[in-house]
Amino acid sequence: MIEFTHETEPIQDAGALVDAGPDLKSEEKPMTQPRTNNKDLIPVPHRRDSAIAPLQVLAQIPEEQIWLNNFTSKHTRETYRDSVIDFIESLGLRGPEDFRIIDRAAIIAWRDKLMKDGKTPRTVKTRMSALSSLFNHLVAHDAAEKNPVKEVEAPKLRVRRGETKALSSAQARKLLNIPPEDTLQGLRDRAILSVGLQVGPRREEISKLRLKDFHDEQGYPSLKLRRKGGSHGSVAIHQQCSQRIKDYLEKAGHGSDADGPLFRPIKKNQRADKPDRHLTPKQVDNIFKHWCKVANLPANYSSHSMRATCATQALNNGASIEQVQELLGHAHSSTTQLYDRRGYSPERSASFFATY
């Protein structure tokens, strides 16, 4: 349950929007409104008796927490929770009961405020989706009468290519070969980079890999990946990637620990209470960024660039959208198409011809 601890003070009109002037009059009886230092406060609409009736349900049942716990992805829970918190802070809501009196005008004002604050259309759309999901949940549990977010148009996304930057073929080759082959850390990182660049899983999917997830299927080396949203799937992997994993396991010595993590911290960095723990997603990201720095690659790449690079190179080398969609585990081919950069060749930019 989201808690509200604002102090309150009387205001004359809770239905005024952000741009309403101080002289706005109302014949309604005064009501309380949270005191806030936020000059961009979006006041809450008027209460109506019909909307106040079931407040006891919200006071006793943590509906918002039930809604959050319904999402299996920690990242989704955090994103949606933060979006709702931003909504609560922007409107100065005093308690869960105030969700019942939110109307279309308040949603529009919040959307416009996000845009004014410089949020990208994608961010605004994500936050509106989070709030809409919450309202759908509240309506389904009779904790709200309707979902006002459905009545408001979200920003249009006109995206032909994804925003994640992909490495060139030369950059990828350099990165794959730069960790040393004569140390355990080097062999581990060579394998991790190969999985990222030649299989394309997310960093969290790499960190969750267990030894038994590396297996043969129909005569081909494969990896079983735990996808975003809880789905599982095995994909056949490049022979070079398979060999690098084998080289790492031979040096690491945990090749018989089928249920244990595939990629592990180096011994000297492990906690004594759990020496066989998985790498964290953040550690996977740090490994990628470390070797990018060693290879003198630009600092604006992230571990997700490995996923974008894998998809881009596979498409450039003849794989179909459907094949790459299956490799990346996308539910919809439209998501995969964001990685399709076949029509974009920076080395052939028209700008190079504008010589003076």
The confidence score (pLDDT) of residue 18 equals: 36
φ, ψ (nearest 5 deg) of residue 38: -80, 110
φ, ψ (nearest 5 deg) of residue 226: -95, 105
* Residue 146 identity: K
Question: Whole-angstrom Cα distance, residue 84 to residue 64?
Answer: 10
Is residue 306 a contact partner of residue 200, using CB atoms and an 8 Å limit?
A: yes
Question: Whole-angstrom Cα distance, residue 263 to residue 192?
Answer: 8
Tokens of 270: 């492990």
Question: Whole-angstrom Cα distance, residue 151 to residue 170?
Answer: 49
As assigned by CATH, the class of the 8-151 domain is: mainly alpha
Residue 146's contacts (CB-CB under 8 Å, 6 or more residues apart) are 135, 139
Is residue 279 a contact partner of residue 263, using CB atoms and an 8 Å limit?
A: yes
Is residue 192 a contact partner of residue 287, using CB atoms and an 8 Å limit?
A: yes
3-state SS assignment for residue 111: helix
In angstroms, the Cα distances linking 175 to 179, 186, 207 are: 8, 12, 19
Spans of the chain below 50 pLDDT: 1-41, 43-62, 269-273
Other residues' Cβ atoms within 10 Å of the Cβ of residue 313: 21
The confidence score (pLDDT) of residue 55 equals: 31
The confidence score (pLDDT) of residue 51 equals: 33
Is residue 308 a contact partner of residue 330, using CB atoms and an 8 Å limit?
A: no
Provide the Cα torsion 273, 274, 275, 276; round to 10°: 170
The confidence score (pLDDT) of residue 84 equals: 85
φ, ψ (nearest 5 deg) of residue 19: -90, 5
Query: Which CATH architecture is the domain 169-342 placed in?
Result: Orthogonal Bundle (1.10)
Question: Whole-angstrom Cα distance, residue 243 to residue 220?
Answer: 12
The confidence score (pLDDT) of residue 160 equals: 56
Question: Whole-angstrom Cα distance, residue 113 to residue 260?
Answer: 48
Residue 240's contacts (CB-CB under 8 Å, 6 or more residues apart) are 194, 198
Strand extents, DSSP E, 51-154? none
Other residues' Cβ atoms within 10 Å of the Cβ of residue 305: 24
Is residue 26 a contact partner of residue 13, using CB atoms and an 8 Å limit?
A: yes
Tokens 């975003």 locate to 228
pTM higher than 0.75: no
Question: 92, 91, 96: which is closest to 143 by C-alpha?
Answer: 96
Question: Whole-angstrom Cα distance, residue 345 to residue 356?
Answer: 22
* Residue ranges covered by each domain of the chain: 8-151, 169-342
> Alpha helix (H) ranges present in 199-352?
203-207, 239-252, 281-294, 304-316, 321-328, 333-337
Is residue 16 a contact partner of residue 43, using CB atoms and an 8 Å limit?
A: yes
3-state SS assignment for residue 207: helix
Task: Encode pLDDT of 219-271 as tens digits.
Answer: 999 999 988 766 788 999 999 999 999 999 999 988 888 999 999 998 654 44
